[in-house]
Structure 1
């Protein structure tokens, strides 16, 4: 039984190392102009817990845990920056793979991952 579980772990490990690099090849780091073109008028979400709506006028509406916050978003030095006047404010490097977005903070903080889609009508 022990041999079977070791074999399964090695097989799963091999599959994930094979799948990982293929997905990474399709990731494109976006420039400031590309970020603006992709984000403006769109919604970034995990499709379950939160969503951020990047309005074309630079306003940002964030919905999470039943609460709405309003802030602003701007492009600075090829990074997406958002400001709510809270500790979560900051700038992020943005990468795209299909409709999946990854935002890496320029300083300390966690990477944010989600999908980009047209905004929903919920407020």
Structure 2
């Protein structure tokens, strides 16, 4: 089993910053960054779990829900990667951590 604690920590840190951000900052793009990341992590999780099924798109539940959506998508991906067979999805974990950090930086959080 892989250690996914770095991914979980990065996702939780970004989600916490989104939760603490004022509405004006969320509306100026931070929420959009969070949603885009949540959608990407959700697609990656779905593809890893069932590669033959077309991934579903996470809906936009509004600027105040994006932090929770990010946390769910990130934790889902972390769990799937943690329990994946050895050798599968090589590099996926590092890529996901980098995506989270880059999105947080773009969001200014």
Would you say same fold, with TM above 0.5?
Answer: no
More strand by share: 1
Q: Per chain length, whose mean CA-contact separation is higher, i.e. which structure has more relative contact order (CA < 8 Å, sep 6+)?
A: 2
Q: TM-score, normalised by structure 1?
A: 0.25
Pair member with larger Rg: 1
